[in-house]
């Protein structure tokens, strides 16, 4: 009888073990250790929230616009870009809507919301240009409920950064960290006011670094994160577990208008230089080298006699530019700036743009297989000609590299008197390649919209990345339509 009971008990215990009902001592220890680690992570998040939240501000903006005709009787949803549909089309696929006005032109007050954070005890606040850049009135609200009118100190559309200020002293503020020290996989926390929900926190990791060619700003070097960023988070801080700001929340990739796991933040090391110039001058002065450039591919490297793809290829040198005066030539490969290796177009553009005009930099180049150093006195970029300084970087997902059609390029390719943007490169096997687009083509229209500006062309291509797009192409004397069809 005892053996029978033992046998039944043994079977019962075995069933429990197989079902996970009984944990062995090592498994119990592992479970307890896992729970303790989770609790410690939660405590770390709590500590950061207590430190950061008082310095995060809720930004409310007002703008008077001229409304025409009848519109939908709906309110614009709260978000970080209230003044026009460009931001909505870029990120959410739909323009804002307002209250229904009467017939004829009429002034309407548009209200928008975003985020920002204090960077000094005397009231300086860092945020996004698209949050406050065109505002007539700006208000900020602190965690404790205090509200202030804010002054726009300066805004920079090229980087999408802005500085505003409130008249108060002794305020909590956030220390700025070092975004260069970030690594993929590091914990980061995003603070802001998503959908107008004041002072929210989300947690995630750094998914990628150095994201560029997205077409959102003129100067891009985004931190990509899966910390949830939603409309209204724009301008809020992205912080590390020490409570230091490592980025400024700026945009999301979304087909629904909400969080889809990919958010972008401007690295704080880029923002530091912009902040200083905006506070001191109210605007940003950018350096200029005066070259058109493109990323080096393996095929290009072999064509230029290189063993591997390295550096940045110079495709054109502007007449009278600092590069021409220093002896830079078409076909040169820029390897380093002041001893720092350069491997992407965006890195070089950002590095030069943030160099003070008049400063001297040392470029290490390859020419005909010979490595040499060239000293260049950086010029100042004319803001009115910024669109002509767009590099030949790829439009993400299409395989197209675009450049403004200058007079020189129009003459070279036979497009005098034409309007469009020049295709400088087509990635092999890409959507554009399969559609039959070739390097040297002129992109004339996208979905029946004439294009003559690279930034606009990039925006339209990115907007339609999830559907078929109709492109009008000019190649030599031939003009024809092609369809870019996503896989």
What residues does each domain of the chain span?
Answer: 55-166, 183-281, 287-384, 392-484
pLDDT (0 to 100) of residue 345: 83
What's the average model confidence in pLDDT over 383-391?
A: 47
pLDDT (0 to 100) of residue 216: 67
Q: Which residue out of 130, 199, 200, 332 is catalytically annotated?
A: 130
pLDDT (0 to 100) of residue 417: 85
pLDDT exceeds cutoff 90 at 95? no
Nearest to 61 by CA among 133, 135, 118, 129: 135
pLDDT (0 to 100) of residue 258: 64
Q: Are 459 and 453 in contact (CB under 8 A)?
A: no
Provide the pairing of β-strand 187-192 with 161-166.
unpaired
Active site residue 68: no
Average pLDDT taken over every residue of the chain:
80
Active site residue 453: no
Q: Are 483 and 468 in contact (CB under 8 A)?
A: yes
C-alpha to C-alpha distance for 466 and 14, rounded to whole angstroms: 53
| 251 confidence band (pLDDT: 50, 70, 90) | confident
CATH number of the domain at 183-281, out of 1.50.10.100, 3.40.190.10, 2.40.10.10, 3.40.50.620? 2.40.10.10
| 99 confidence band (pLDDT: 50, 70, 90) | very low
pLDDT exceeds cutoff 50 at 372? yes
- Fold of the CATH domain 287-384: Pdz3 Domain (2.30.42)
pLDDT (0 to 100) of residue 106: 63
What's the average model confidence in pLDDT over 265-294?
A: 91
**Of the candidate ranges 53-67, 79-93, 376-390, 443-457, the one whose mean pLDDT is the lowest:** 79-93
Q: Which residue out of 234, 353, 401, 441 is catalytically annotated?
A: 234
- Fold of the CATH domain 392-484: Pdz3 Domain (2.30.42)
Active site residue 130: yes
What's the average model confidence in pLDDT over 192-205?
A: 87
What's the average model confidence in pLDDT over 91-118?
A: 62
| 427 confidence band (pLDDT: 50, 70, 90) | confident
**Of the candidate ranges 221-230, 249-258, 348-357, 361-370, the one whose mean pLDDT is the lowest:** 249-258
Percentage of the chain with pLDDT > 70? 81
CATH number of the domain at 55-166, out of 3.40.630.10, 2.170.130.30, 1.10.10.10, 2.40.10.10? 2.40.10.10
pLDDT digits (tens, 9 = 90+) for 337-370: 999 998 888 889 889 988 989 999 999 998 888 8
What's the average model confidence in pLDDT over 434-457?
A: 87
What's the average model confidence in pLDDT over 166-184?
A: 95
Q: Pseudo-torsion of CA 325, 328, 329, 330, nearest 10°?
A: -120
Cβ count near 278 (within 10 Å): 25
Domains 55-166 and 392-484 alike in fold: no
**Of the candidate ranges 23-37, 225-239, 263-277, 373-387, the one whose mean pLDDT is the lowest:** 23-37
- For residue 287, what is the enclosing H or E element? strand 287-288
Q: Which residue out of 115, 156, 159, 160 is catalytically annotated?
A: 160
| 316 confidence band (pLDDT: 50, 70, 90) | confident
Q: What is the DSSP secondary structure assignment for residue 235, as one 8-state letter? A: T
Query: Which structure tokens are listed for 228?
Result: 């949830």
């Amino acid at each position: 009888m005892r053996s029978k009971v033992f046998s039944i008990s043994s079977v019962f215990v075995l069933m429990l073990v197989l079902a996970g009902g009984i944990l062995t001592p090592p498994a119990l220890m592992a479970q307890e250790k896992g729970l303790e680690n989770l609790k410690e992570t939660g405590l770390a998040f709590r500590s950061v929230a207590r430190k950061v939240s008082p310095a995060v501000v809720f930004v409310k903006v007002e703008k008077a616009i001229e409304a025409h005709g009848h519109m939908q009787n709906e309110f614009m949803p709260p978000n970080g870009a209230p003044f026009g549909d460009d931001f909505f089309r870029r990120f959410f696929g739909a323009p804002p809507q307002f209250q229904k006005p009467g017939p004829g032109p009429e002034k309407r007050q548009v209200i928008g919301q975003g985020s920002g954070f204090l960077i000094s005890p005397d009231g300086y606040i860092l945020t996004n240009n698209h949050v406050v850049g065109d505002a007539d009135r700006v208000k900020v609200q602190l965690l404790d409920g205090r509200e202030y009118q804010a002054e726009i100190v300066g805004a920079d559309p090229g980087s999408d950064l802005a500085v505003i200020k409130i008249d108060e002293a002794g305020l909590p503020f956030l220390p700025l960290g070092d975004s260069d020290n970030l690594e993929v996989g590091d914990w980061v926390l995003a603070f802001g006011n998503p959908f107008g929900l004041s002072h929210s926190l989300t947690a995630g990791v750094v998914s990628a670094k150095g994201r560029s060619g997205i077409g959102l700003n003129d100067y891009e070097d985004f931190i990509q994160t899966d910390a949830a960023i939603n409309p209204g988070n724009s301008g809020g801080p992205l912080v590390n577990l020490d409570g230091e700001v490592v980025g400024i929340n700026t945009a999301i990739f979304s087909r629904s208008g909400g969080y889809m796991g990919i958010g972008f933040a401007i690295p704080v090391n880029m923002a530091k230089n912009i902040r200083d110039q905006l506070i001191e001058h109210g605007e940003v002065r950018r350096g200029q080298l005066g070259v058109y450039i493109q990323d080096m591919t393996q095929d290009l490297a072999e064509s230029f006699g290189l063993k591997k793809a390295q550096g940045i290829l110079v495709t054109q040198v502007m007449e009278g530019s600092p590069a021409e005066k220093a002896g830079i030539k078409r076909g040169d490969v820029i390897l380093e700036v002041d001893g720092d290796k350069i491997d992407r177009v965006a890195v070089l553009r950002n590095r030069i743009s943030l160099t003070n005009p008049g400063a001297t930099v040392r470029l290490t180049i390859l020419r005909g297989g010979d490595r040499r150093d060239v000293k260049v006195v950086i010029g100042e970029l004319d803001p009115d000609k910024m669109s002509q300084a767009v590099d030949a970087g790829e439009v993400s997902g299409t395989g197209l590299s675009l450049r403004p059609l200058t007079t020189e390029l129009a003459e070279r390719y036979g497009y005098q008197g034409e309007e469009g943007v020049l295709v400088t490169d087509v990635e092999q096997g890409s959507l554009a390649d399969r559609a039959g687009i070739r390097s040297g083509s002129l992109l004339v229209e996208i979905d029946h919209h004439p294009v003559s500006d690279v930034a606009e062309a990039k925006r339209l291509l990115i907007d339609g990345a999830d559907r078929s797009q109709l492109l009008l192409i000019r190649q030599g004397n031939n003009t024809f339509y092609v369809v870019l069809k996503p896989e």
